[in-house]
């Protein structure tokens, strides 16, 4: 996962502290690194300020009501703030914004669509049913939910965060501040992987990336993502 940030080091520090992950920084870039299926958040510099609600946000899990309360308190101590995105007064989850305004939720312990083995429980996306099926095919992650206009996928091992897609889908006005990076395994051909993903419904987009070694695509809902060169 990659997050645009006006201050990458400060934002990476916030998320590393909140998740209990390690902070890494180099030449203006920064990362929060943990263990498991999703084990790194990459924070990259941007001059663009956040102006609209994100299409993607993180949901944090809780072991108990007290744990949920403590996580909210800790997040605020680190620089988060409580916000209202229309969740209503009877909501059992807490909605916050990180120091750069990115929304995230601290969920109640009974929530069924978060990983309870780590603090990062899920990546939740505004999205159509079609885009849920698209990402299931791209990642090779099976659908674990597909009803009522909502889909969810999870790694084949049944571990790590869920990725969920569902309404409401607000109009997309700007480049997403959060996006997914996809990389093939060692020996995979990047061009062939791009062709495979395009055959599933993606298209190439220009976001001003210039001459870079990765390929920028958009999924069927218009979410930008990158296809990197193969991993070691």
Q: Which of 2-6, 84-88, 114-118 reaches the highest mean pLDDT?
A: 2-6
Say if residues 206 and 161 touch (Cβ distance below 8 Å): no
For residues 12-40, average pLDDT: 90
Containing domain of residue 209, as a range? 190-228
CA–CA distances in Å: residue 202 to residues 151, 163, 197, 213, 226: 18, 18, 6, 18, 11
pLDDT tens string 132-173: 999 999 999 999 999 999 999 999 998 889 999 999 887 888
DSSP state at residue 184: P
For residues 182-186, average pLDDT: 87
Query: Tokens 């979410």 label which residue?
Result: 223
Same domain, 20 and 106: yes
Same domain, 153 and 196: no
Same domain, 144 and 223: no
Residue 116 lies in a domain: yes
Main-chain dihedrals φ then ψ at residue 26, nearest 5 degrees: -165, 125
Domain-ending residue, one of 124, 151, 166: 166
Smallest CA-to-CA distance from 228 within 211, 216, 218, 220 is with 216
Residue 174 lies in a domain: no
pLDDT of 130 reads 96
Smallest CA-to-CA distance from 104 within 94, 114, 113, 112 is with 94
pLDDT category at 75 given cuts 50, 70, 90 is very high
Q: What is the pTM of this model?
A: 0.92
Residue 75 DSSP SS3:
helix
For residues 195-215, average pLDDT: 95
Residue 200 lies in a domain: yes
pLDDT category at 186 given cuts 50, 70, 90 is confident
Same domain, 113 and 224: no
Query: Tokens 């992987």 label which residue?
Result: 193
Same domain, 109 and 202: no
Determine the Cα–Cα distance for residues 52 and 177; give it in Å rounded to an integer.
10
Examine the pLDDT at 191 and tell me if it is beyond 90: yes
Residue 183 lies in a domain: no
Count of positions (residues) in the chain: 232
Residue 184 lies in a domain: no
Determine the Cα–Cα distance for residues 151 and 55; give it in Å rounded to an integer.
15
Residue 176 lies in a domain: no
The Cβ of residue 100 has, within 10 Å, a number of other Cβ atoms equal to: 20
pLDDT tens string 87-128: 888 889 999 999 999 999 999 998 888 888 889 999 999 999
Examine the pLDDT at 232 and tell me if it is beyond 70: no
Determine the Cα–Cα distance for residues 127 and 132; give it in Å rounded to an integer.
7
């Amino acid at each position: 996962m990659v997050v645009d940030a006006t201050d990458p080091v400060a934002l990476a520090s916030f998320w590393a502290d909140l998740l209990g992950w390690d902070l890494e920084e180099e030449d203006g870039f920064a990362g929060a690194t943990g263990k498991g299926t999703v084990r790194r958040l990459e924070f990259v510099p941007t001059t663009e300020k956040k102006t609209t609600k994100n299409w993607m946000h993180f949901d944090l899990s809780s072991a108990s009501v007290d744990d949920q309360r403590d996580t909210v308190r800790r997040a605020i101590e680190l620089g988060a703030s409580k916000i209202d995105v229309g969740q209503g007064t009877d909501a059992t989850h807490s909605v916050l914004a990180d120091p750069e305004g990115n929304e995230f939720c601290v969920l109640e312990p009974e929530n069924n669509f978060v990983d309870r083995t780590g603090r990062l429980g899920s990546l939740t996306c505004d999205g159509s049913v079609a885009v849920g099926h698209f990402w299931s095919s791209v990642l090779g992650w099976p659908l674990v939910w597909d009803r009522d206009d909502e889909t969810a996928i999870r790694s084949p091992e049944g571990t790590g965060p869920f990725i969920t897609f569902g309404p409401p889908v607000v109009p997309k006005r700007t480049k997403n501040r959060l996006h997914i990076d996809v990389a093939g395994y060692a020996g995979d051909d990047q061009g062939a992987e791009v062709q495979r993903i395009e055959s599933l419904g993606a298209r190439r987009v220009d976001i001003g990336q210039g001459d870079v070694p990765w390929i920028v695509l958009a999924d069927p809902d218009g979410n930008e993502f990158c296809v990197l060169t193969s991993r070691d």
